[in-house]
Amino acid sequence: MRLPTVYVETSIPSFYHELRSEPAMQARREWTRQWWSAAPGRYELFTSEAVLDELGRGEYPTRADCLALMQSLSVLPIDSATADFVSAYLRHKLMPRDPAGDALHLALASQHKCDFLLTWNCMHLANANKFGQIRRVNTMLGLFVPTLTTPLGLLGGTDEDSG
């Protein structure tokens, strides 16, 4: 049986190693860690060079830990079709103008037919108010539409877990 596939974007390792003490930040860290520990055997995890590059930029205290967390994930290739999808997202004002950011993550998860795009970015990705527009644009482009969710949204596991 095929495991559901998950594209893990940058905010996931960042929140796994979150240091801020505000209750909302601590809750996201805990939910991320709970999901991460339950993921093996339930999901096949993917990321991209874009995520690894983003995590590798700058100096911050958890940089090495974030990169180490992603070491075991398969890396999805970025090609000219990916760039075309990103351009289409930007043309349709689906994502902010940073072509190496949210639009690229959505393009990769869609192009490679990942079941889920896992993120804590609830402004541009895991946003129920944007999902209809994302579905319309992906359908127009002939792309798969992944479920955009947070670790909390996946903590319940899969349908097979309840049987």
Please say if the pLDDT value at position 46 is more than 70.
Answer: yes
Predicted local distance difference test score (pLDDT) of residue 162: 45
* pLDDT at residue 160 is higher than 90: no
Instruction: Decide if pLDDT at 163 tops 50.
Output: no
- Average pLDDT on 136-157 reads 92
Which position has the higher pLDDT, 94 or 30?
30
149: β partners? 118
Residue 58 pLDDT more than 90? no
Phi-psi region of 9 (alpha: psi -120 to 50; beta: other; left: phi over 0): beta
Domains of the chain: 5-154 (3.40.50.1010)
| Percent of residues, the chain, with pLDDT higher than 70 | 91
118, β-bridge pairs: 8, 149
Give which of 69, 79, 82, 157 is closest to 116, Cα–Cα: 157
Q: What is the pLDDT of residues 72-126, one digit of tens each?
A: 999 999 999 999 999 998 888 887 666 568 899 999 999 999 999 999 987 667 7
How many residues does this entry show for the chain?
A: 163
pLDDT band at 131 (very low <50, low <70, confident <90, very high): confident
Phi, psi of 122 (to 5 degrees): -90, 0
The pTM assigned to this predicted structure is 0.91
